[in-house]
Structure 1
Amino acid sequence: MIIDAATLEQDTALDAELCIVGAGAAGVTLALQFLRGPIRVVLVESGRDQAEAATQALYAGEVADTALHPPTDTYRQRQFGGSTTLWGGRCIPLDPLDLRARPWIPHSGWPFGHEALTAWYPQANAICEAGAFDYNAASAVPGGMRPMVAGFTPRDFTTDAIERFSLPTNFAARYRHRLAASEALRVLLGTNCTAIELGEGAHSVRTLHLRTLDGRRVAVRATQVVLALGGLETPRLMLASRGAGHQDGIGNRQGLVGRYYMSHIAGTSGRLRLHVPPDRVRPGYEVAEDGTYLRRRLQVTEAAQSKHRIGNAVMRLHFPRIPDPAHGSGVLSALYLARGLLPYEYRKRLAEPAGGKGVALRHVRNLLTDPFSATGFAWTMLRKRRLAARKFPSIIVRPPRNVYSLDYHGEQEPNPDSRVTLAESRDALGMPRLRVDWRCTEGDIRTAQTCFRLLAEDLARWGHGSLQADPAEVAHDMLRDGAYGGHHIGTARMGATPAEGVVDAECRVHGMANLWIAGAAVFPTSGQANPTLTVVALALRLAARLKRELAPPPIAAG
Structure 2
Amino acid sequence: MAFDSFADARSFADDPGLEADICIMGAGAAGITLASALADSGLRVCLLEAGGMDMDPVVEDASIVPDIGRPYDVTANRLRFFGGATNHWGGHCVRLEPDDFEPKDWIPMSGWPFGADTLAPYYRQAHAFLGLGEYEYDPAPVARALGTRLMPFDGPMLKSQLSRYRRVFYGDEYGPRLDRAPNVRVVLYADVCDIRLGEASGETVSHVVVRSPAGNRFDVRARYFVMAAGGIEIPRMLLVANGQRPAGLGNENDLVGRYFQEHLMFKSGLLLPRDPADVLPLYLSEVPYGEIAVRCHLVLTAEAVRSRRIGKFRSEFYSLPLRLRDLRALRSGRIDAADIAGLVSDPFGTARAYRCGSNARHDTYGLFNNIEQRPNPASRVSLRADKDAYGRPQAQLDWQITRQDHDCILAAHQVIAQEAGRIGFGRMRIEIDPEPEVFLDGVGGGGHHMGTVRMAEDPRRGVTDGDGRLHSVENLYVAGSALFPTGGYPNPTLTITAMAFRLSDHLKARAEREGLL
Q: TM-score, normalised by structure 1?
A: 0.82
Distance 1:319 1:258, change over 3 A: same
**Residue aligned with 1:38, SS:** coil
1:293 aligns with 2:257: no
Q: 2:139 aligns with which of 128, 137, 140?
A: 137
Shift of 1:90: 0.6
Q: Distance in 1 between matches of 2:255 and 2:129?
A: 32
Distance, in Å, in 2 between the alignment partners of 1:254 and 1:189 is 34
SS of aligned partner of 2:223: strand
Pairing of 1:62-211 with structure 2 (within 5 A): 62-67=66-71, 69-70=72-73, 72-140=74-142, 143=145, 146-149=148-151, 151=152, 153=154, 155-159=156-160, 161-166=161-166, 168-200=167-199, 201-211=201-211
| Match 2:461 to one of 492, 500, 514 | 500
Structure 2: give runs of 5+ residues left out of the alignment: 328-350
SS in 1 for 2:24: strand
> Are 1:445 and 2:406 matched, yes or no?
yes
| Cα shift at 1:427 | 1.2
Question: Conserved in 2, the CA contact under 8 Å of 1:138 and 1:145?
Answer: no
CA distance in 2, matches of 1:92, 1:134: 10
Q: Is the 8 A contact 1:120 1:540 kept in 2?
A: yes
Look up the match of 2:365.
Answer: 404
Partner of 2:374: 413
**1:348-497 counterparts in 2 under 5 A?**
365-366=355-356, 400-472=361-433, 479-497=440-458
The 2-side partners of 1:204 and 1:464 are apart by: 60
Alpha-carbon contact 2:92-2:165 (below 8 Å) kept: yes
The answer as to whether partners of 1:193 and 1:208 remain within 8 angstroms in 2 is: yes
| Aligned-partner Cα distance in 2 for 1:448–1:204 | 45
Alpha-carbon RMSD? 2.6
Give the match's secondary structure for 1:319: strand
Looking at structure 1, the residues matched to 513 and 211 of structure 2 have their Cα atoms a distance apart, in angstroms, of 32
Shift of residue 145, structure 1, vs aligned partner? 6.7
For residue 51 of structure 2, what is the amino acid of its counterpart?
A: G
In 2, Cα distance between equivalents of 1:362 and 1:221: 68
CA distance in 2, matches of 1:29, 1:402: 43
Contact 2:6–2:187 under 8 Å retained in 1: yes
Task: Check the 8 A contact 1:207/1:220 in 2, yes or no.
Answer: yes
Contact (CA 8 Å) 1:269, 1:477: kept in 2 or not? no
Aligned equivalents of 2:270, 2:112: Cα separation in 1: 37
Structure 2 residue 53 is matched with structure 1 residue 49: yes
Residue identity over aligned pairs, in percent, reads 33
Find the residue that maps to 2:77 and give its secondary structure: coil
Superposed, 1:508-519 pairs within 5 Å as 508-519=469-480
Distance 1:219 1:551, change over 3 A: same
CA distance in 2, matches of 1:483, 1:249: 30
TM-score in terms of structure 2 length: 0.88
User: C-alpha deviations, 1:420-469, integer Å up to 9, x for none?
Assistant: 10011111221111110111222111111000011111112233411111
How far, CA to CA, are the matches of 1:461 and 1:26 in structure 2?
Answer: 44
Aligned residues between the structures: 487
Cross-structure match for 2:241: 241
Q: 1:241 to 1:147 in 2, by over 3 A?
A: same
Q: Is the 8 A contact 1:140 1:288 kept in 2?
A: no
The 1-side partners of 2:147 and 2:407 are apart by 32
Partner of 1:36: 40
Asked if 1:15 is matched to 2:16, the reply is no
Post-superposition offset of 1:190: 1.0
Counterpart contact for 1:154–1:459, Cα < 8 Å: no
Q: 1:25 corresponds to which residue? A: 29
Partners of 1:554 and 1:78 in 2: CA distance: 35
Q: 1:424 to 1:311 in 2, by over 3 A?
A: same
Q: Distance in 2 between matches of 1:311 and 1:37?
A: 40
Q: Which amino acid aligns with 1:366?
A: C
Matched residue type, 1:90: H
Cα separation, 2, equivalents of 1:436 and 1:280: 40
Check conservation: 2:320, 2:362, Cα contact below 8 A.
no
Give, in whole Å, the separation in 1 of the partners of 2:432 and 2:514: 61
Partner of 2:221: 221
